[in-house]
Amino acid sequence: MPAADLPLDVKLMTAATRALAALFAFMCLGAFSLWAVRHPVWSVKGISVHGDVVHQNAVTFRAQLATQMKTSLSGSFLTVDLQQVRRLFETVPWVRQAVVQREFPNRLRVTLQEHQAVAWWGESGSGQLVNDAGEVFEANPEDLDGLPELAGPRDQSATVWALYQALLTDLARLDLGLDRLELNERGSWRATLDSGAKVELGRGSPEDLQARVRRFTATLSQLTQRYPGALESVDLRYPNGYALRVHGVTTVSDSDAKPQPNTR
């Protein structure tokens, strides 16, 4: 008998039977999938770490992450939360970024990018460092001799690092080094040269500050010939010149120059 000629109750029963069969098949498939996912063959057997591992090794990772990692890997290889594992690795000192991938059949691959320390944040040995992206991070002090010091509001670390690099280039023309650059809460800048001399930069945009330093470096050799001696301090907070103090001598490069108001 054609399907179109079947009674309505038979059609409904046939449709219900097919629906139940489909539901049963779906449930069987789900149960099989759950069994397969939980099968020991899919448990995570190991984690391989690649990339920047200068400051870390397998022993330190185990010591710092063992407890948390057990919780994160309590599921199977197929269900493990890769983002959670990534966040765990990024809590380890010196680790800036981690990328976690599955490696079939039962391993995880972690690729690390470490912080590249370029300066201390605050004081040397403080445990806070600045990386080459201008980000402040915390790490155990190590043998990091020769790093400069940067200081200021933490959310301004990238600005401080960028200005440090720019000023260092300008000062290098006179073989001057820059040991410290700080921005105080009032927005005024101060630098310390590698000779120990203090440089008051004042307020202003990075371009303004660079212009003051370039004015200083362009004329310093002339002044040191006239006033030989160890450089003690420089005040660049003048509109048309700067004040220079050398051992035993104090002078202003422009006799008409006056300090800028509200810079102290």
- What pLDDT tens digit does each residue of the chain (264 aa) get? 455 565 666 556 766 677 766 766 666 565 545 545 455 555 778 888 899 888 887 778 877 787 777 776 666 777 788 899 999 999 998 999 999 998 888 888 999 999 999 999 999 988 899 999 999 999 887 778 889 999 999 999 999 999 999 999 999 988 999 999 999 999 999 999 999 999 999 999 999 999 999 999 998 888 777 767 778 999 999 988 888 888 766 655 544 444 443 333
* pTM as predicted: 0.75
Nearest to 123 by CA among 171, 166, 179: 179
Sheet architecture: strand order including 178-183: 136-138, 128-131, 117-121, 149-151, 178-183, 189-193, 198-202, 231-235, 243-246, 249-252
Cα separation, 82 vs 108, whole angstroms: 9
